[in-house]
Chain A
Amino acid sequence: MKKYLYIYKSEIMSSLQYIFNILLNMVGYTVLVFIFFNLWDYIYEDASQLINGYTKNQMIWYIIVTEMLWQASGARKLCRKICEDVRGGNIAYNINKPYSYIGYVISSHLGEMTIKALITIIVGIIFGMIFLNELPQISLIGIIIVLISAFLSILINTILVTAIGLLSFTIEDASPIYWLYSKVILILGTMFPMEFFPKIIQTIVRFSPIYAISYGPARLFVNFDIKNAVVILITQMIYVGIALGISNILYKKGVKKLNVNGG
């Protein structure tokens, strides 16, 4: 565990060198929040109106949090890196190192994303306050639980995207699978809470990773409830285990097929 912590710390230090790039990336996040603010401002006739149990402010805060989680995951970059490692043969350099490739990828990626995640949280809260003038009603303990849930959400997303990237062992380029994965999360989890969908889709979302990655933490932030918090945290921990299991199986199967031409 110590070695992964060291990799994590090194990546944080390294990402501090690119702080300007991280700040510039925030423009994209604020633009998305701005677009959704305008969209929901148009849809809601007044601030007190309830749509599927959400007020306008709750709906916009929900999107601020889910977009925050998605941006802080940096999933596209991670998937591209693993695909290139597998296709280009770089993965061969990691196989004979005294660490697990999956552990290395996850710890280095989380390290790379830590500063970005912190800045995204600050920017998201500032923008929410500018647009909506109020925070959702949530206690300090509630905020701490939401932060833990947010960390677990980013962790699950990172491990699942690692698993998708490792599919490159079988299908050469796993990017198309990632596009579909990201769009399903985006539509069914990031843009709308599950209450906006028909009952059958709500059930699917409830038992899919979307619940642990997007809906769970965002729902806790806009409408905190300790019972829900326990259910969400347990679900997230189960998903961490499942995702790690899938990644390890794919890696072990993939490495057996690996054929690197030296040069």
Chain B
Amino acid sequence: MEDYKSVIPMQEGKRHVIAAAWHITKALVASDHLTDDLRKILTDLDSHLSAMPAILESEGVDFAEFERQLKHAEEDIMSWETNQAMAWDSGTEEAPKYVKFIDEILTLIESLRSLSNEHGKAKELLHRADRVLQLAMSWLEEELVHLLVQNKQFFEPEYMSFRSCGADVTYDESFTSVEEDTEEAPKRNSTGSESEEYVVDLVHPHVIPRLKSIANVMFASNYGQEFCQAFINTRKEGLDEYLVILRMEKFSIEDILKMEWKNLNYEIKKWTWVMKIIVKVYLASEKRLCEQIFGDNGSVSTTCFTETSKASMAYLLNFGEAVAMGTPQPEKLFRLLDMYEVLDDLLMDVDALYSEESGSDFRIEFHELFSKLGDFIEATFAEFGNAIASSTSTSPFPGGGIHPLTRYVMNYIKTLTEYVDTLNMLFKDQNVEDSNSGFELENGQEIPMTYLLRSITSTLEANLINRSRLYKDVALQHVFLLNNFHYIVEKVKGSKLGQFFGDTWIRQHIAKVQQHATSYERATWSSALKLLINNGNSMSKTTFKERSRSFSIAFEEVYKNQTGWCISDPQLREDLQISTSQKVIHAYRTFIGRNSANDSDKHSKYPVEDLQNYLLDLLQGSPRTLQHTRRK
């Protein structure tokens, strides 16, 4: 195809000259001052000139040129069909051949169109040229899809393999199998920094110029609609595929509402993970891809982006809606907080991605879901408090050890400290309402969080006190509270919780523990110790015998009961044993010593050393008895 551009002015010019000559001739013929000869010549010329356009056409000189070029183009396009490599895969640097080709076809079509009203031949050629253009366009459309599919790239984050991480605090209602607290605080997926502003190439960069030129050419040829449809559908398929790679499954709302917590927990973790990758990385990159290809054609770029992403985004949104429709249950709180934090983090991105009018519904829906989740978290938190308050039992917890509820609540609130900023934000208003709730706050504490945590531990303490009343033995009541309160204090001291509860609280609670220890000792030993004391004087032999026997019985009783009880913390147990030992052994030794005249060795059943050893068996949680040692 050579340039027809030079052909056209020549042809046009010729026609104009002929038309002008004809007009002049006509005017001359019509004038009155002509000789007959001259009039005859002019009349002949007039008829010649009037026939000229028809002659020009029938001569077909210029059309032959058009036709030659068209034929060439038709051959070209046929060769594309059969030999793909020729037009495309050879070299990427030079401007693709098709750009020039289409350019020429378009010029040809334009020329023919302007002639087609007067010339049947032009009409026919235009028809052929349109056909060539259509062939080229459908070819380009396939090329577009081919390029998009073959050069598709998926973002693989370092944390691509989804691990089911994130805090889990389990509470077994049966109270039987509660895992010992995992001391290393469960690390939350703090992927925030990793995916920040992470725009990647979703299509290999080396084909971007080609995609762009296809877009330009197709839009210039008025085939923009085809381009958009092919682009949107292929990219949408890419996004679907990516979600499959991320193992995002589709669930109906009914499925989600009926899902067991274990599975839903997993799906929510995946959702928060997927949301971050999709919004921060994938969609940000998709948007850039659209901008790269459509350049300054902003509205097309926006439409394509929105159309590509909306179905998947709608699904992700509906998943959130479905979760927020569920019943508030304490175990959900951490996942809800995760979702809330993810949305909090993503709202700005969503606003930016869908900043145009067409995306306004999306923006609003995301903001609404965000606030819905906030409300749901508040309800769930309240439910957590209710659950603690209403967790009651009719039988005492065996052995007086640390109740699973205590472990559960403390691990639960320990995990809550990971969400301190979010919780402070969410419960900002609630704190104002309850500011006169009697908690004195120390400087620098996070106000709402402190209030929340303390209200939970007060509820727990009240619950434990109620539970302690189930024990008939007062000493065991104190062992139970001692164990549990000590656990609470240790948990607070040994974690971030300390900074929310403050030193005053910790001191007060250590004092409470101490108080229960003292009360325990008193409840256990006071009556037995009374037997050993006799105002510093020696007693009569019968009294001594009587008291010694009573003491042995009392001691055996304590031994029988309290070897089965348990103080879980070894340090606490040791402290208590030392303290007991100091009081009991000291009194016993004095008792024996003072009454040595009464043949004490014979009448006292237990030597001091034995007694000391027996004391070490107490509160170990393995029931024993001293019965068999009586009177060998």
A binds B: no
